[in-house]
Amino acid sequence: MTLRRIGSSHQPVEVMIDPGEEQPEGWGYAASLRWRLAFMRAVLVAITVGVISVASYWTVSSSLTSSVDEGLEEKASTLLERAQEPGFYENVEDEIAMLKSYNGDLRVALSPPGWEYVVGDSIALPADLPPSRGTPDSRIISGAGGERIVVMSDETGAVVVMTLQMDDIRRLVTSLGVLLLIISCAGVLISILLGFAISDASLKPLAQLQRAVETVARTDQLRPIPVVGNDELARLTVSFNEMLEALRVSRMRQSQLVADAGHELKTPLTSMRTNIELLMMASRPGSPPISEQDRHELECDVLAQMEEMSTLIGDLVDLTREEETNVLEPVHLNRVLETAVERVERRRHDVEILTHTVSWYLNGDGFSLTRALVNVLDNAVKWSPENAVVRVSMKPIDKHHVQIVVEDSGPGIPEEEREMIFERFYRAVQSRSLPGSGLGLAIVRQVVDRHAGHIEVGESDDGGTKVTLVFPGTQDPTHLSPGQPNPQ
């Protein structure tokens, strides 16, 4: 593993890099997002303008060539029609000269029917294109000098050959190509400049988000970012604000947990320190002696306070473990309940626990579920009078939910305190004189919530406390897959 330093100059961040993992390289990853957006826009414009320019160049060039070919065919056809008029061949040279006078670059050769020579210009034809006689025909080819040649014959056997130099048209097409190239280059340059401007405007919310992140990292202040618009960046800002709020709540809960834990630990620690100091003073030479009964009471107090601190620390560890555990696997819930009942029965033998269970399975954490059920049963047993009975029933309420009800015969919980008993370190008025951390039911609530369940507290039939827990799951274990949500 190696370290790579990233981030701004104000707040660099070191990130662990696995040397076995292939890292992306190249300009696309080294350049800034602003440059990449501008470059992609320039490439897109260049491709678009290039395609349009090539298509325009080819269209204009083909249109001009086609226009020349049509003009040559029209002139050749007209000349052949004139050749069929009486007396045409008596003035054939004048007719050709008149035709050429209106077309300066035009060369014309006419071979009358039955003649062995041509009238007009001497035009060399390709060897593979002999003049056709007696059959109406028309052919257009490109000459060696770049001119266009049309060869046309009619049914009388007359053949006309016309050529036209394409120098002017080639110059026009070349000028058009240069102009299109200049326009393409200008379009790409303008697209790059506009790409930077558009990128700056588009990435402005992202820049604000970056500054906000840097501010959070630098000042540790979780201030939300103003949301502008309703686009993807706005939704990203909303998600970031939600993350900040979750972080703020988590930090507040952590601070509150530390403060509450410190307060709860301070009381037994102070009392234990006082008792230990009294025992140390009594053991010093010359100190007033204390009776064996007082010494025994001090020692019992120290042991009780140590037990209280041990219980509190264990509950804090369980609470933290519940926040970090995410592994869920198939659990046989009624067996978990039976295990919890066995543990609680060993703590108090004068209270009977009657249970009624059914077979039920769910994806969960068996250790956490056992801990939660032990806490609920332990509270029921602790508050029950001597020779009382704690009733535990388990039954399905629908196809995918099961209900566990724990009822005792104790003093019950006032209605106004039934929701507060699930808060961390909260203890009801009547229980504050008894040992306990005030975290047991908070752990139960956290376990139930993590398993997508529900818990509520009410009054039992004989005035005691009734705790109802609802868990998802199924009676058929084949419907469960490890790591997957429970059936709903």
**Are 455 and 448 a contacting pair, CB within 8 Å?**
yes
When mean pLDDT is compared over 113-127, 162-176, 209-223, 247-261, the highest value belongs to: 162-176
CA distance 390 to 378: 10
pLDDT at 338: 92
pLDDT greater than 50 at residue 12: no
Walk across the sheet containing 352-356 and list its strands: 352-356, 389-398, 401-407, 465-472, 454-459
One-letter amino acid of 297: E
* R_g over Cα of the chain: 49
* 129 backbone dihedrals φ, ψ, rounded to 5°: -135, 75
Between residues 379 and 216, the one the model is more confident about = 379
pLDDT at 194: 79
- The token pair at 355 is 């249970």
CA distance 106 to 422: 105
For range 43-58, the mean pLDDT? 84
CA distance 309 to 51: 80
pLDDT greater than 70 at residue 17: no
Compute CA 191 distance to the chain's CA centroid, rounded to the nearest angstrom. 30
pLDDT at 397: 92
pLDDT greater than 90 at residue 307: no
Please state, rounded to an integer, the average pLDDT across all residues of the chain: 78
pLDDT at 437: 52
Catalogue all structural domains in the chain, each as residue range(s) with its CATH number.
Answer: 86-169 (no CATH), 223-324 (1.10.287.130), 327-479 (3.30.565.10)
Q: How confident is the model at residue 348 (pLDDT cuts 50, 70, 90)?
A: confident
Three-state secondary structure readout of the chain:
CEEEEECCCCCCEEEEECCCCCCCCCHHHHCCHHHHHHHHHHHHHHHHHHHHHHHHHHHHHHHHHHHHHHHHHHHHHHHHHHHCCCCCHHHHHHHHHHHHHCCCCEEEEEECCCCCCCEECCCCCCCCCCCCCCCCEEEEEECCCCCEEEEEECCCCCEEEEEECCHHHHHHHHHHHHHHHHHHHHHHHHHHHHHHHHHHHHCHHHHHHHHHHHHHHHHCCCCCCCCCCCCHHHHHHHHHHHHHHHHHHHHHHHHHHHHHHHHHHHHHHHHHHHHHHHHHHHHCCCCCCCCHHHHHHHHHHHHHHHHHHHHHHHHHHHHHHHHHCCCCEEEEHHHHHHHHHHHHHCCCCCCEEEEECCCCEEEECHHHHHHHHHHHHHHHHHHCCCCCEEEEEEEEEECCEEEEEEECCCCCCCHHHCCHHHCCCCCCHHHCCCCCCCCHHHHHHHHHHHCCCEEEEEECCCCCEEEEEEEECECCHHHCCCCCCCCC
User: pLDDT above 90 covers what percent of the chain?
Assistant: 11
Q: How confident is the model at residue 3 (pLDDT cuts 50, 70, 90)?
A: very low
For range 329-345, the mean pLDDT? 90
pLDDT at 9: 40
CA angle 60, 64, 68 (to 5 degrees): 170
Walk across the sheet containing 159-164 and list its strands: 119-120, 106-111, 159-164, 148-153, 137-142
For range 325-345, the mean pLDDT? 85
pLDDT at 353: 92
pLDDT at 224: 79
Q: What are the residues whose beta carbons fall under 8 Å from the beta carbon of 266, sequence distance 6 or more?
A: none
Alpha-carbon distances of 92 from 88, 107, 161, rounded to whole Å: 6, 15, 14
pLDDT greater than 50 at residue 294: yes
Q: How confident is the model at residue 30 (pLDDT cuts 50, 70, 90)?
A: low
**Per-residue exposure over 258-285, b if at least 16 CB sit within 10 Å of its own CB, e if not:** eebbeebbeebeeebeebeebbeeeeee
pLDDT greater than 60 at residue 20: no
Rounded to the nearest 10°, the torsion over CA 123, 126, 128, 132 is -20
pLDDT greater than 70 at residue 4: no
pLDDT at 5: 41
Closest CA to 359 of 187, 235, 480: 480
Considering only 343-357, 377-391, 422-436, 457-471, which range has the smallest mean pLDDT? Answer: 422-436
pLDDT greater than 80 at residue 161: yes
Residue entry with tokens 């009776």: 291
CA distance 79 to 94: 12
What's the pLDDT tens digit per position in 177-222?
888 888 888 888 887 787 777 777 777 777 777 787 788 778 777 7
pLDDT at 127: 57
β pairing state of 352-356 and 389-398: parallel
When mean pLDDT is compared over 7-16, 233-242, 312-321, 397-406, the highest value belongs to: 397-406
For range 354-377, the mean pLDDT? 89
Answer positive or negative: Cα dihedral of 364, 366, 372, 373: positive
pLDDT at 117: 76
- The token pair at 34 is 């602003």
pLDDT at 393: 94
Between residues 364 and 137, the one the model is more confident about = 364
CA distance 324 to 198: 44
CA distance 364 to 331: 6
pLDDT at 325: 55
Q: How confident is the model at residue 395 (pLDDT cuts 50, 70, 90)?
A: very high
CA distance 7 to 200: 20
Q: What are the residues whose beta carbons fall under 8 Å from the beta carbon of 197, sequence distance 6 or more?
A: none
What's the pLDDT tens digit per position in 54-75?
888 888 888 888 888 888 888 8
pLDDT at 235: 82
- The token pair at 19 is 């040397």
Q: How confident is the model at residue 333 (pLDDT cuts 50, 70, 90)?
A: very high
What's the pLDDT tens digit per position in 243-283?
888 888 877 777 776 776 666 667 678 878 888 888 888 77
